[in-house]
């Protein structure tokens, strides 16, 4: 299970550029995650995470719910596009929580891909 963390900020998509938020978190040596949940212009639901440890991005993925998973560069591009209607959530982690998340997320990604029948390698 992935820790929830402590919510420290919420923004509507378009209220503040996701790229600006990302740069601020890197500068502040943030540990936790930025979550982007949105409905795309073509009606698909997307849920993505960017995991930080001391300001460094250590993992990013985005699920087009029930359809496919995007990882790393592809996930980042989709989350930074600021298109669609949704919310950005920023949640802070303790050192222990980030370790648990780094252990749990790769397993969760593989389970999600398996459920939706997607190949396990990055596309």
List the domain boundaries for the chain. Answer: 6-116
* Residue 70 burial (CB count, 10 A): 20
- Which pTM does this prediction carry? 0.85
Strand order in the sheet with 85-92: 6-12, 85-92, 32-39, 45-53, 56-64, 68-71
Task: Round to whole Å and give the CA distance between 123 and 74.
Answer: 9
What is the per-residue pLDDT across 61-118, written as a single tens digit (0 to 9) for each?
999 988 888 999 999 999 999 888 999 999 999 989 988 988 888 787 788 778 777 6
CB 62 within 8 A of CB 50: no
């Amino acid at each position: 299970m992935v820790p929830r963390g402590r919510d420290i900020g919420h923004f509507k998509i378009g209220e503040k550029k996701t790229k600006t938020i990302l740069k601020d978190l890197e500068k502040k040596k943030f540990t936790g995650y930025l979550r982007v949940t949105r409905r795309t212009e073509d009606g698909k639901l997307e849920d993505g995470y960017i995991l930080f440890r001391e300001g460094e991005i250590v993992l990013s993925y985005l699920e087009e719910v029930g359809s496919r998973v995007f990882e790393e560069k592809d996930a980042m591009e989709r989350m930074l596009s600021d298109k669609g209607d949704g919310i950005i959530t920023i949640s802070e982690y303790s050192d222990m929580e980030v370790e648990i998340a780094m252990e749990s997320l790769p397993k969760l990604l593989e389970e999600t891909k398996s459920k939706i029948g997607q190949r396990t390698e990055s596309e």
